[in-house]
Amino acid sequence: MDMSRQLRDFNAVAARWDQEPRRVQLASAVSEAIIRNAGPSQAMRVLDFGAGTGLVTLALAPLVQQMVAADSSQGMLEQLTAKLADAGITNVLPFLLDHAGPVSLPGPFDLIVSSMTMHHIADPGTLFGLFHAAMRSGGQLCIADLESEDGSFHDDPTGIYHNGFSVAEMEDYFTKTGFVNVRTIQVTSVKKGREGTAREYPVNLTLGTAQFSWD
Ligand SMILES: C[S@@+](CC[C@H](N)C(=O)[O-])C[C@H]1O[C@@H](n2cnc3c(N)ncnc32)[C@H](O)[C@@H]1O
Question: Ligand 1 pocket, 121 CB below 6 A?
Answer: yes
Q: Is the pLDDT of residue 1 over 60?
A: no
Which residue's CA is the closest to the ligand 1 atom numbered 16?
Answer: 120
Task: Please check whether residue 56 is in contact with residue 47, taking contact to mean a CB–CB distance below 8 angstroms.
Answer: no
Query: From CA 140, how far away is CA 81, in angstroms rounded?
Result: 26
Surface-to-core class of residue 133, CB atoms within 10 Å of its CB (0-12 exposed, 13-18 middle, 19+ buried): middle
Question: Ligand 1 pocket, 145 CB below 6 A?
Answer: no
CA–centroid distance, residue 213 to ligand 1 (Å): 31
Q: In CATH, which superfamily holds the domain spanning 3-210? A: Vaccinia Virus protein VP39 (3.40.50.150)
Question: Ligand 1 pocket, 55 CB below 6 A?
Answer: yes
Question: Ligand 1 pocket, 111 CB below 6 A?
Answer: no
Which atom of ligand 1 lies nearest, measured to the CA of 122? 19
The three-state secondary structure class of 204 is: strand
Segment 170-183 shows an average pLDDT of: 98
Segment 186-197 shows an average pLDDT of: 90
CA–centroid distance, residue 214 to ligand 1 (Å): 33
Which residue's CA is the closest to the ligand 1 atom numbered 17?
Answer: 72
DSSP track, 39-77: ---TT-EEEEET-TTTTTHHHHGGGSSEEEEEES-HHHH
Which atom of ligand 1 lies nearest, measured to the CA of 115? 6
pLDDT band at 103 (very low <50, low <70, confident <90, very high): confident
CA–centroid distance, residue 117 to ligand 1 (Å): 5
Question: Ligand 1 pocket, 127 CB below 6 A?
Answer: no
Domain edges within the chain: 3-210
Question: Residues 30-40: pLDDT tens digits?
Answer: 999 999 999 99
Average pLDDT, the chain: 94
Question: Ligand 1 pocket, 69 CB below 6 A?
Answer: no
Regarding predicted confidence, which is higher, 7 or 23? 23
